[in-house]
Amino acid sequence: MKKFWPILTIFLLVVVFAFPYWAKNKVPLPADHLVTAFPPWQYYYGMPVKNNAMPDVVTQMYPFKHLVIGLWKNSQIPL
């Protein structure tokens, strides 16, 4: 049992921190960056962007993830 406590600890941490995503069917996407980081809404809401690299999740990572999942569902290998 001593060998498995690190694996069990990591598993429990993942379960605790990912609870909203698997239990409440939410997507781990910082969608607030759609409003705060892009010019049409950026100055209207007046919320500063603290990490300028975060909009990459919205503009690049999420569309790529969506594309890859769609290709796998269609039995195609994403290249």
Task: Using the structure block, give the residue that is written with the tokens 């409440």.
Answer: 24
What pLDDT band is residue 51 in, cutting at 50, 70 and 90? Answer: low
- What pLDDT was estimated at residue 11? 93
Q: Which residues contact 31 (CB under 8 A, 6 or more apart)?
A: 58
- What pLDDT was estimated at residue 54? 62
For the segment 64-74, what is each residue's pLDDT rounded down to a tens digit?
A: 888 998 999 99
For the segment 8-33, what is each residue's pLDDT rounded down to a tens digit?
A: 999 999 989 888 887 887 777 777 66
Instruction: Record the pTM.
Output: 0.47
Q: Of 6 and 39, which is predicted with more confidence?
A: 6
CB atoms within 10 A of CB 1: 5
Write the DSSP assignment of 3-26 as a string of letters.
Answer: GGHHHHHHHHHHHHHTHHHHHS--
Mean pLDDT of 40-59: 65
Dihedral angle sign, alpha carbons of residues 34, 28, 73, 68 = positive
Whole-number Å distance between alpha carbons of 40 and 55: 14
- What pLDDT was estimated at residue 44? 65
